[in-house]
Structure 1
């Protein structure tokens, strides 16, 4: 039995074996039921319910999603880390694969990757085999800027300089890589760290060029001034979550910081190009 906590997200691949999808919102069960998943309902912050939902699963895949609706998403994520760890200590699976983040190896506070570092450190205490799958920034994240680009012809970017390439990956590719890792023979190492990114790296200018190709007209990237970041983020999210993303973008713009950990033993590459990842966001079916 494979249990997936957060199975309604974009990292979930089509199951090829017995899979239990653990959700907090039963309304999202339809697609997962159709592809053959058993469904269990549990809230991320209810460790007892989570442990019961995990049950006797041999393998558990987990993700720690931010909750933009929460008053303090960062604090809720910290509570979620402890709840997940407590549930796993009670359920005692043999293998845990946790979706983490590029930059989780950095020791100073760089926002969201630092929360993933805390996540990894807490799960490292579990008495089982652990795989931390560190995902690069998602290509689909640009979808938030697509309406503005279509309307104005300008793609706002928090990546600066605009020609600096950075690691990025299509979210479904992360799910496929995770599934492949879970189905391979177990390693002798108690903790494995695997990085996942796309077939090549892109800059903000590359994103604008792809949008231009999809739309059939010129789209130009434009860096959002650093002085406007706080207002831009807080207009759509809580100050707590905005702070995490501001720190992460500052680190990303240093170049080479939010990246593969030095001396990393394994980097996996997805197959989805940026053009294919953005096409359904620009030209929805």
Structure 2
């Protein structure tokens, strides 16, 4: 049984679709009943779990041979760091009690860095807590993904309304890696499906899109897709926190993002040189933006 946590997210949905196309039995783990219906229609079994509760996670793990684990950054939480660390701890407890043959954990570029990277620091903690599971009973795959292309959807309405795309990436010509969630999910499924008895107990795989971009390029793609003129604009560093708070984030979540982009702009968020494997997705930024525009039409 392939057990997919975070099934209702973009990555989880893509992984489940790929696994079902391969004819594999899948258990989709969601939080609410209404999230489970689309997966039941795909022929999946559905489990409900509270990621903050190790007993709940353990119940979803029963009979699992392969597991895809996602501990998401909590949205709308006043203490997202504390909450996510609690989810990671709960997952580690449950996985130690029910170790699958293969465990794939969704992580981030820069997760090799211990501190000073905001949200990515939490993925470092995730990796630290799960690495002891790698051994004779469990093959652990850490799938580190670049910044997701769909994150730009958050500022797309502002960009289309004003003609200016605000960017926390400074300077605007700095190139950075991005990746489509679809490509991450499909690669995760591919890695889960691989059968290699001689594989190392710990495998680190990094994935990004077919080409690196900069903020100018993102604005240009959005202009082409939308048919409206859009220009990139550096959001001043001293305006980041206020802008994020106006967007509905808590103080704690806003600080995690500020710290992340400070690390990005200092060049720290990237693949770990000389470690693991690197893969490249095929999906272009224009395809992600076009799909987003169609969804809103």
For this structure pair, what is the TM-score category when the shorter chain's length is used for normalisation? over 0.9
Unaligned 5+ runs, structure 2: none
Is 1:196 aligned to 2:203, yes or no?
no
SS at match of 1:162: coil
Deviations along 1:210-253, one digit per CA (max 9) or x if unpaired, are 01101223210001000011111122211111111111101111
- Asked if the contact 2:3/2:29 (under 8 Å) is kept, the reply is yes
Aligned match of 2:184:
174
SS at match of 1:178: helix
State the alpha-carbon separation in 2 of the partners of residues 88 and 192 from structure 1: 17
Aligned match of 1:274:
285
Q: 1:71 aligns with which of 67, 78, 89?
A: 78
Counterparts of 1:207-222 in structure 2, within 5 Å, are 207-222=218-233
State the alpha-carbon separation in 2 of the partners of residues 164 and 218 from structure 1: 21
TM-score w.r.t. the length of structure 1 is: 0.97
Aligned match of 1:230:
241
- Asked if the contact 1:199/1:273 (under 8 Å) is kept, the reply is yes
Aligned match of 2:8:
8
Unaligned 5+ runs, structure 1: none
State the alpha-carbon separation in 1 of the partners of residues 159 and 174 from structure 2: 20
- Asked if the contact 1:146/1:281 (under 8 Å) is kept, the reply is no
Deviations along 1:95-124, one digit per CA (max 9) or x if unpaired, are 110000000112332111111011000001
State the alpha-carbon separation in 2 of the partners of residues 75 and 108 from structure 1: 15
CA shift for structure 1 position 280: 2.1
Aligned match of 1:183:
193
CA RMSD of aligned residues (A): 1.2
State the alpha-carbon separation in 2 of the partners of residues 205 and 120 from structure 1: 33
**Which deviates more, 130-139 or 28-37?**
28-37
Aligned match of 1:100:
107
- Asked if the contact 2:131/2:140 (under 8 Å) is kept, the reply is yes
**Which deviates more, 89-98 or 76-85?**
89-98
Aligned match of 2:255:
243
SS at match of 1:125: helix
State the alpha-carbon separation in 2 of the partners of residues 214 and 125 from structure 1: 46
- Asked if the contact 1:196/1:267 (under 8 Å) is kept, the reply is yes
Aligned match of 1:148:
158
- Asked if the contact 2:78/2:253 (under 8 Å) is kept, the reply is no
- Asked if the contact 1:133/1:196 (under 8 Å) is kept, the reply is yes
- Asked if the contact 1:100/1:120 (under 8 Å) is kept, the reply is yes
CA shift for structure 1 position 152: 0.5
State the alpha-carbon separation in 2 of the partners of residues 116 and 36 from structure 1: 31
SS at match of 1:276: helix
Q: 1:88 aligns with which of 95, 101, 114?
A: 95
- Asked if the contact 1:47/1:86 (under 8 Å) is kept, the reply is yes
- Asked if the contact 2:116/2:263 (under 8 Å) is kept, the reply is no
TM-score w.r.t. the length of structure 2 is: 0.93
Number of residues paired by the alignment?
Answer: 284
